[in-house]
Amino acid sequence: MERKKMTLGLFTGSIDKLTAAGVIISGAVADDYQVDVYVLLQGARVFKKEVGDDATQLPMAENPQLKEEFEASLKELKVKTWLEFFRTAKELSEVKIHVCGLAGKIWGADKLSDFVDIVDDIVGINSYITSAQEADIHLFI
């Protein structure tokens, strides 16, 4: 069976949308999808080593006044952090995480070693466009 492909343009740096992205990727890897994540602008900041899943540094895109309640619910429901979702997905299927070079530079990160260990490489925008063009599913969050 030929492996299907999903491409995710991950613009967000918000904890709620990152969690949603983690859940969606989990569904894709359960189905053995090959997933390519292209980390853009705000997303590049959270993949930096000093941010990651440190919730104190992550805003909430919608209902920001309920962030504390949101985090408490995730914990009670034993939901992984957004970064744990991505890490688990890489263990279960072929998941590559590519950071946009410009986005990294905007946040002062221009070397692979500036990012958390699950980032595979730093790429240009054409890689994203090509991947999206070839994917069975293309999402932008």
Partner 1 sequence: MTSEELKSVTANQIVDARGTACPGPLLAAKKAIGDIESGDIMEVLSSDEGTKHDIPKWCEKMEHEFLGIVEEDSYSRLFLKKA
Q: Which of 3, 49, 66, 92 binds partner 1 (CB under 8 A)?
A: 92
Does position 77 bind partner 1 by CB under 8 A?
A: yes
Q: Is 68 helix (H, G, I), strand (E, B) or coil?
A: helix
Name residues contacting partner 1, limited to 5-34 (CB under 8 A): 23, 26-27, 29-32
- In Å, what is the CA distance from 66 to each residue of 14, 21, 59, 71? 13, 19, 11, 9
Give least dist CB 91 to partner 1, A. 8
Residue 125 binding partner 1, by CB under 8 A: no
C-alpha distances in Å from residue 139, one per residue of 11, 19, 45, 107, 135? 11, 15, 20, 24, 10
CB of 78 to partner 1, least distance (A): 5
> DSSP state, 64?
G
Can you name the residues that pair with 98 across neighbouring β-strands?
38, 121
Q: How far is the CB of 60 from partner 1 (least distance, A)?
A: 19
The footprint of partner 1 (CB under 8 A) covers 23, 26-27, 29-32, 77-80, 88, 91-92
